[in-house]
Amino acid sequence: MSGYLLVVNVGSTSIKSRLFATDLQSKAVLTADYGETADMVLEGQDTHGNSIYHRVGTIHDTSSALAAVLDKWRQLLDGNGLQLIAIGHRIVHGADWFAAVTPINADLLERLAELDHYAPLHNPFNRLGVATAAQLFPDTAQFAVFDTAFHRSIPEHAGRYAIPGHLSDKTHFYRYGFHGISCQHSLTTAAELLDCDPGSLNLIILHLGGGASATAVRAGVSIDTSMGFSPTEGLVMAGRCGDLDPMIIVTLQQAGMSSTQLELLLNHNSGLKGICGDADMRSILQKAEQHDPAAMLAVEMFCYRIKKYVGAYCAILGKVSALVFTGGIGEHAPIIRKNIVAGLEPMGFVMDNEANLRQSNPNSDISAIGSHARILVIHAEEERVCALQILNFLDAKSYYEPRG
């Protein structure tokens, strides 16, 4: 099989995309960051290794950003005579319907539209990515890779909520979990770093970024995770509240707050932003260094919530092979890693503080000699995992289906 695979990962204010050869070598990358007020910045590296940087002052929405990104890909591919064999999309929510790579056709898109209310901040943007790619690359097969698939193994006692089972005809309330593609990569890479079989590993995976989650992996399989029915549950995040007493919501509703206002509060104006008015951990850490009280509290609450989950998952797993840090904060904020691990020595986690600060390689072991469990920093590569899964699917099925 020859040709190239394009992977598209669409968020509400950013688009990440990467071109892979069939040997999984990354050939080019394009990212777009934009917002309601910020100009879109398109940057990356083309197929010859040349840097791309372009600021577009008129693009502030996902639809326009997708059109710009995918049109740039069309220019790069056509200009270099490169042929796409497939386009892959990270789809955030697959509910309990999808557990593997799935070819995208009209029927699948109809089913995905039914899941928009499961992940209103993500799935509509993911479907928009599919539609835009279909317009610009009408003859290229497209495939969906689901962020929830890795967590389909969570047992019912961990996945079910303690509420009546049939509250809605349209929605099944369950702990679906997210960051599954990142967790799969962390599991595979941890096995490489520790020179063992993935199926032998018990891991606690901390994916820490704008969205943040903790996942317990036993014998290479997800058994619990902090995000639940939606990505709002669990840890303190950039704008999401994480775990919250549900009676707070009832009280706010009784005070007159609408469902739209509540959604905005819980997913955009809570978390770090709600604590200190800033959602960017980089600037929060700078303010904390200057002894800003609100920033210091935000850092403390962020780390404290994570530490609680680590302790809980240690109790569930028993023996832990490694604690994994991944995601933008997990990879690039040594002070956050240090604060989380501090006090966990009785559980077997001892950090090498110099290695934590030094951490020069994308994937590193920063645990001290004598630590019973390893402490790993692993570079998140969701697009590569998507590409690998799609290529494996194509190899196994010899499958090429026109878009329908």
Instruction: Name the residue with tokens 């707050």.
Output: 257
Nearest to 105 by CA among 90, 127, 124: 127
Given 46, 78, 139, 147, which residue is catalytic? 147
Structure tokens at 247: 């009676």
- CB of 383 closer than 8 Å to CB of 17: yes
Q: Which helix (H) or strand (E) holds 87?
A: strand 84-91
147 is catalytic: yes
3-class DSSP assignment, residue 139: coil
Structure tokens at 328: 């933008």
- CB of 282 closer than 8 Å to CB of 167: no
CA atoms within 13 A on the CB side of 1: 21
Q: Which helix (H) or strand (E) holds 78?
A: helix 62-79
Nearest to 326 by CA among 269, 370, 366, 354: 366
Alpha-carbon distances, residue 225 vs 7, 179, 180, 228, 379 (angstroms): 26, 10, 10, 7, 20
Cα separation of 30 and 16, whole Å? 6
Q: Catalytic positions, please?
A: 147
